[in-house]
A and B are shown apart, each in its own frame.
Chain A
């Protein structure tokens, strides 16, 4: 079992719709969770981080965390063609003090005009 799992997609949504991206993780002791956006050929760009159970909203983005079920999700409201990218879920390991991030493979999102 992979430590951080994401559906690779592509996830295709029409412009203006809500895109829902999901991520599950195996380390129950994980404390910090991050969503990065990566355009083709570019480096990852931090979108949001979440530490506590529940929802965290930032503009059109909402991160949701459920530690009991070991999943974290990202909702993108009013999706735009410019949101088309790969979204990487990253989880900070709960063990040790290295700050190591474990990345999922990423979900490719396509927003169609």
Chain B
């Protein structure tokens, strides 16, 4: 049974056209993370929610926003995608922050035309 679900699995958008990626979890975990991973690179943390508390990474561009309307769902909004935003976007969850392991969803592959 899927525990961390991401939709869609593949997303194609046009340069500058807003796009929203979604993540849901059935684990009732407190923490949800969004990572960006470009080809042959390490996953890069964009931000995370600890419950309703939003934590942005210092180097995450303002173009990236996130919403967590409830425990199960978290969204990544890219307001004006550029060609450099084409990547795999990974959602991960963990029960707690400091001591628990992170489990990843299948990812959404974003293509920007």
Query: What is the interface of chain A, defined by CB distance below 8 A to chain B?
Result: 4, 8, 32, 34, 36, 41-46, 49, 88, 92, 97-101, 103-106
Contacts and interface: CB of A to CB of B under 8 A. Distances in A.
B94 A99 contact: yes
B106 A103 contact: no
Contact of B48 (A42, A43, A44, A98): A98
A4 B45 CA distance: 14
Interface string B34-46: 0000001111110
A99 B45 contact: no
Nearest to A2: B42
Contacts of A97: 97-98
Interface SS of chain B: loop
A98 B103 contact: no
A106 B42 contact: yes
A59 to B, nearest CB: 17
Interface residues on B, range: 20 to 34
A47 to B, nearest CB: 11
Contacts of B106: 42-43
B21 interface: no
B105 interface: yes
Given A43-B107, A99-B98, 11 more contacts: A34-B101, A43-B104, A44-B90, A44-B104, A45-B104, A88-B42, A88-B43, A98-B98, A99-B94, A99-B99, A100-B45
A101 B96 CA distance: 13
Nearest to A92: B98
23 contacts: A4-B42, A8-B40, A34-B102, A41-B109, A42-B107, A43-B88, A43-B107, A46-B104, A97-B97, A97-B98, A98-B55, A98-B97, A99-B31, A99-B48, A99-B97, A99-B100, A99-B102, A100-B45, A100-B48, A101-B102, A103-B44, A104-B42, A106-B40
Contacts of B96: 99
A105 to B, nearest CB: 5
Nearest to A100: B45
A5 to B, nearest CB: 10
